Amino acid sequence: MGLGEASARGTSMEGDCLSCIKYLMFVFNFLIFLGGSFLLGVGVWVLVDPTGFREIVAANPLLFTGVYIILAMGGMLFLLGFLGCCGAIRENKCLLLFFFMLILIIFLAELAAAILAFVFREHLTREYFTKEMRRHYQGYNNTDVFTSTWNAIMNTFECCGVNSPEDFEDSLFRVLHPSDMVPKACCRRITHPGEEHECLMGSMMFRYNKGCYSAVVDYFEMYIYVAGALAIVVLTIELFAMVFAMCLFRGIQ
């Protein structure tokens, strides 16, 4: 009789624990679902907004790319939250397993990205970017991805070259445009006729003189620690999500 009561009590506690995990996972994934829905809504609104906000974003290539990143993140979180909620509330082993595999793939991809970033960190040096710019930057060919990307960076961050405007000396740009000292993307906002010509001739008054490497690093420096902390939080949440999903998966009869 004592053994039967102990067994029944153990079964009851196990059931309560499973129920707790089930509802914790549901609440957790419902929040993920709401976050994904919000990001999707913001991304779609920016793309279809009739008031002209789309044109403002489209004028800045970095912002325009950011919209699609927001849409992709929103879609991924929406799907994850939906699968997690349905799998938890319906105690569906198939959905829970799919949710676990999806989280595992994302976790491994993030881990691989971190390892690759560490391995190829030497490719993020000033010398590497300077060498690549001198070899591949064409100046006015917007059909070339490398050139258009650098033009967008120089326009957005109001900078010129990797280290300074002198980076264009002995470069492909000077071979293609021997009469120009710097590309048009290095010029400050033109207010009077002739200023652009002065800029292209190398006048320091009408061009950006700060290098893009320093400009970008200075801009993102304040976000580095926030991004690092956020990455740790995300990885921790993903680990807990996988543990909860597998516990619920194994507990379902």
57/253: higher pLDDT:
253
Predicted confidence (pLDDT) per residue in 119-151, tens digit: 766 666 788 889 989 999 998 876 788 888 899
* Length of the chain, in residues: 253
Least-confidence region, from 7-16, 92-101, 201-210, 238-247? 7-16
- What residue spans in the chain does CATH classification 1.10.1450 cover? 128-210
On whether the 128-210 domain is CATH 1.10.1450, my answer is yes
Residues 6+ apart with CB under 8 A from 83: 29, 95, 98, 99, 102
Predicted confidence (pLDDT) per residue in 19-48, tens digit: 787 888 888 788 878 877 887 887 787 777
Instruction: Yes or no: say if 81 and 36 are a contact pair by the CB < 8 Å rule.
Output: yes
Residues 6+ apart with CB under 8 A from 212: 150, 153, 154, 157, 159, 160, 161, 162
Predicted confidence (pLDDT) per residue in 205-223, tens digit: 889 999 999 888 887 776 6
